[in-house]
Amino acid sequence: MQNWRSELNRLCLLLSLATVIGYAVGHTSWVMLISLCVYSLSNLYQLRRFNLWLNRDSSESDSEPPESYGLWGDIFDGIHRLQKQERRASSYLANIIDKAQESSAALEMAVVMINRQGNLDWWNFAAENLLSLHYPKDRNQSITNLIRNPSFSEYFHSENYDETLKMEAPGESSKILEFQIALFGENERMMIVRDITQLHRLESMRKDFVGNVSHELGTPITVIKGYLEAILDNLDGLDEKWHKPMRQMWQQSMRMENIVRDLLMLSSLETTGLTKTQDVIGLQGLFSEIESDTQQMFKDKAHTFELVCPPSLDIVGKRSELYSAISNLVVNAAKYTPAGGHINLCADIGTDSLDISVADNGIGIENHHIPRLTERFYRIDGSRSSETGGTGLGLAIVKHILARHEAELEIQSTYSEGSCFICRLPLSRVALSSIDDETRLESTEKE
Ligand code: ADP
């Protein structure tokens, strides 16, 4: 501002001097014109210097601006200051980028940046090993062309990356990789890939171990239980003091048999996939079968059952598994509801799901137990469960079976009032025949 004012003063002084000299020599206009030309030429000269400095070649990029005075000096200094600030900021950014690239290069997991067209932008060293990417050949190539696997393409285009994708490494079936994608910026993606071969191997070993141990225990337990049953049938010949221990041994052998049966079931659910051909199951028939089997099991408790199910509702799934899941819930309801209680089994088609609920007015569950109920061997009260022959594996089995049918388990309960277990199946599991029946029913009702 100071220099701007002195520049104006200088111009005024020049014009006043030109007026005085012009008046003295009798050619005021000429002298004024000449002095304005001199003033403009000096500004043009400064502009030229400025232009030359701006267009200097890159080898001189650090050179100081031309020396000048007044307003021009101010302009040169200001621009030089801005240039220095910008240089500092870009070197700071370059530093950060270098550090990010160096640290991701040191990672064991692959990091791949993918632009919004789905093409490769950048990747770290591990990506070259895990995904066989080559720099610079693969730059700007489409990721789905480089990783040619239908499940990867489906995962990549789904844009739902809540879950990770596990699959064999491209061109190396012995390696198992886990893919996780995060969306950022304008539809750009960062993909992180981990080698989980070892983890996968340990997990299959664990599953095999549980399966094998349960299988191997099956025969000895059956033999022990068989002998105990034979002894219990002939208790008369046995000393009175052995009666109680024999009964307890038999009860425990029953429990062991149940645990082994449930563990085998869990292990087969974990190790085998759901077959492609599935059954069309009439829900009403399934409900009746479960009701009569449970009533038979808990004859002494004389519960009242209520079944609510649209008459022609069919679902698609594995019958034996769905029987087992719903039956587990109904048996639990019967186990944990005192004699004379009420059990309600209901199927209801909602807007997003088919809900199969099992409700009882039994002992209920305290709120803080609910999130852990589907964990293996989680039981609220061990002694109560063992009295009822529980293994603590029932709800874990239910959860597994439902997950195989893309369904979820919701648990609602009020302590000492009762519980409700809801299986939410996707509508895609409702058989088309029952949807046709339903629409036919609706249209006849409208008519
Ligand atoms: P368990 O074989 O012991 O019944 P589950 O996995 O089937 O094992 O159930 C886990 C626990 O959840 C049970 O020990 C029981 O305490 C509780 N539970 C399950 N169903 C009910 C129910 N309908 N009412 C009250 N408690 C229940």
Question: Ligand 1 centre and the CA of 72: distance in Å?
Answer: 86
Q: Tens digits of per-residue pLDDT, 327-382? A: 999 999 999 999 999 999 999 998 999 999 999 999 999 999 999 999 998 888 76
Residues lining ligand 1, Cβ inside 6 A: 332-333, 336, 360, 362-363, 365, 373, 379-380, 385, 390-395, 419
Q: Tens digits of per-residue pLDDT, 138-176? A: 999 999 999 999 999 999 999 889 889 999 988 888 899
Which residue's CA is the nearest one to ligand 1's atom 20? 332
Question: Ligand 1 centre and the CA of 380: distance in Å?
Answer: 7
Which residue's CA is the nearest one to ligand 1's atom 21? 332
Q: Is a pLDDT exceeding 70 seen at residue 281?
A: yes
**Ligand 1 nearest-atom number relative to CA 258:** 2
Looking at residue 122, its amino acid is W
Indicate the top mutation candidate among 370, 379, 391 to test ligand 1's pocket, ranked by most ligand atoms within 8 A of CB: 379
Phi first, then psi: give them for residue 314, nearest 5 degrees. -115, 145
Q: Is a pLDDT exceeding 70 seen at residue 388?
A: no
Rounded to whole angstroms, the Cα distance separating 95 from 101 reads 10
Question: Ligand 1 centre and the CA of 246: distance in Å?
Answer: 27
pLDDT band for position 386 (50/70/90)?
low
**Ligand 1 nearest-atom number relative to CA 421:** 23
Question: Ligand 1 centre and the CA of 331: distance in Å?
Answer: 9
Question: Ligand 1 centre and the CA of 126: distance in Å?
Answer: 47
What pLDDT was estimated at residue 46? 86
Look up residue 139 and give its DSSP letter. T
**Ligand 1 nearest-atom number relative to CA 374:** 6
What pLDDT was estimated at residue 97? 86
The residue among 278, 286, 413, 427 whose CA lies nearest residue 352 is 427
Strand locations in 84-123 (E) = 110-114, 120-123
Question: Ligand 1 centre and the CA of 423: distance in Å?
Answer: 16
What pLDDT was estimated at residue 446? 46
What is the chain's Cα-based Rg?
41
pLDDT band for position 434 (50/70/90)?
low
Question: Ligand 1 centre and the CA of 311: distance in Å?
Answer: 30
Question: Ligand 1 centre and the CA of 420: distance in Å?
Answer: 12
pLDDT band for position 58 (50/70/90)?
low
Q: Is a pLDDT exceeding 60 seen at residue 100?
A: yes
Question: Ligand 1 centre and the CA of 379: distance in Å?
Answer: 7
**Ligand 1 nearest-atom number relative to CA 418:** 24
Rounded to whole angstroms, the Cα distance separating 108 from 122 reads 16
Contact (Cβ atoms closer than 8 angstroms) between residue 332 and residue 411: no
User: 62 is written with which tokens?
Assistant: 């650090």
Full-model pTM: 0.67
Q: Which residue has the higher pLDDT, 74 or 363?
A: 363
pLDDT band for position 238 (50/70/90)?
confident
Which residue's CA is the nearest one to ligand 1's atom 11? 379
Which residue's CA is the nearest one to ligand 1's atom 4? 390
Q: What is the mean pLDDT of residues 175-191?
A: 93
Indicate the top mutation candidate among 343, 373, 383, 402 to test ligand 1's pocket, ranked by most ligand atoms within 8 A of CB: 373
Q: What is the mean pLDDT of residues 441-447?
A: 47
pLDDT band for position 225 (50/70/90)?
very high
Q: Is a pLDDT exceeding 70 seen at residue 306?
A: yes
Question: Ligand 1 centre and the CA of 1: distance in Å?
Answer: 83
C-alpha to C-alpha distances, 447 to 440, 442, 443, 444, nearest whole angstrom: 11, 9, 6, 5
Q: Which residues of 325-339 are buried (b: 16+ CB within 10 A; e: fewer)?
A: bbbbbbbbbbbbbee
C-alpha to C-alpha distances, 318 to 19, 215, 279, 353, 415, nearest whole angstrom: 108, 23, 6, 18, 33
Residues of the chain above pLDDT 90, percent: 56
Q: How many CB atoms lie within 10 A of CB 239?
A: 7
What pLDDT was estimated at residue 67? 79
Residues of the chain above pLDDT 70, percent: 93
Strand locations in 185-241 (E) = 188-195
Task: Indicate the helix (H) or strand (E) that contains 218.
Answer: helix 197-233
Q: Is a pLDDT exceeding 60 seen at residue 76?
A: yes
Question: Ligand 1 centre and the CA of 405: distance in Å?
Answer: 22
Mean pLDDT of the chain: 88
Which residue's CA is the nearest one to ligand 1's atom 25? 364
Indicate the top mutation candidate among 395, 401, 402, 419 to test ligand 1's pocket, ranked by most ligand atoms within 8 A of CB: 395
What pLDDT was estimated at residue 140? 92
Indicate the top mutation candidate among 262, 336, 391 to test ligand 1's pocket, ranked by most ligand atoms within 8 A of CB: 336
Question: Ligand 1 centre and the CA of 417: distance in Å?
Answer: 15
What pLDDT was estimated at residue 81? 87
The residue among 315, 358, 364 whose CA lies nearest residue 337 is 364
What pLDDT was estimated at residue 385? 55
Q: Tens digits of per-residue pLDDT, 398-413? A: 999 999 999 999 999 9
Q: Greatest CA separation found in the chain?
A: 154
